[in-house]
């Protein structure tokens, strides 16, 4: 970058940010469409590419798996085949494998050699923590012999 991020340079430990930032760039492409799977060999061979990052939900929608399987479409033979093609292309080109997942489903990626995992998104984390907080509040209400039911919500049980 031509311009120095002044605030970053003033923060403790970031004095040499501009000198090293470009040495730490990772170039990733998201594999989230049927076209990406159809062209995975060519995509993975792109010079300068560091990572193939899979989003199974969007990929499954693009592959038409939602119509066939409903909400369990990310755990299907067709998805496994698409992931296997992606893994093979990444290994052939010495690329990092990345994926988007939630909690217990991380095994799916780890078993296949993925080393970069995004473990949720902002909405997931907000709802998860809010659910935990509401459960704690309900327990405290019982402890103090209070009735608290909250309001019905589709996000928090």
Q: Are 98 and 49 in contact (CB under 8 A)?
A: no
Report residue 12's pLDDT band, with 50, 70 and 90 as the boundaries. Answer: low
116/118 Cα distance (integer angstroms): 7
Cβ-proximal residues to 110 (8 Å cutoff; 6+ apart), any chain: 117
Q: Is the pTM of this model over 0.85?
A: no
Residue-wise pLDDT for 140-156, tens only, equals 888 888 877 777 776 66
Q: What are phi and psi of 96, to 5 degrees?
A: -70, 140
**Model confidence at 28: pLDDT above 80:** yes
pLDDT value of position 8: 59
Residue-wise pLDDT for 44-95, tens only, equals 999 999 999 999 989 999 999 999 998 888 889 999 999 999 999 999 999 9
pLDDT value of position 3: 57
157/146 Cα distance (integer angstroms): 19
Q: Supply the DSSP string of 56-68, one letter for each residue.
A: HHHHHHHTTHHHH
Q: Are 101 and 53 in contact (CB under 8 A)?
A: no
pLDDT value of position 53: 97
């Amino acid at each position: 970058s031509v311009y120095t991020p002044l605030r970053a340079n003033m923060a403790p430990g970031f004095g040499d940010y501009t000198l090293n930032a470009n040495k730490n760039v990772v170039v990733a492409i998201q594999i989230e469409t049927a076209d990406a799977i159809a062209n995975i060999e060519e995509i993975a061979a792109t010079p300068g590419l560091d990572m193939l990052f899979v989003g199974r939900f969007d990929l499954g929608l693009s592959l038409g798996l939602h119509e066939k399987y409903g909400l369990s479409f990310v755990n299907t033979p067709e998805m496994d085949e698409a992931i296997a093609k992606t893994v093979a292309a990444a290994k052939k080109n010495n690329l990092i494998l990345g994926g988007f997942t939630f909690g217990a489903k991380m095994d799916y990626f780890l078993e296949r050699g993925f080393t970069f995992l995004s473990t949720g998104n902002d909405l997931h984390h907000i709802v998860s923590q809010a659910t935990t907080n509401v459960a704690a509040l309900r327990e405290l209400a019982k402890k103090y012999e209070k009735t608290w039911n909250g309001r019905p919500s589709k996000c928090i049980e």
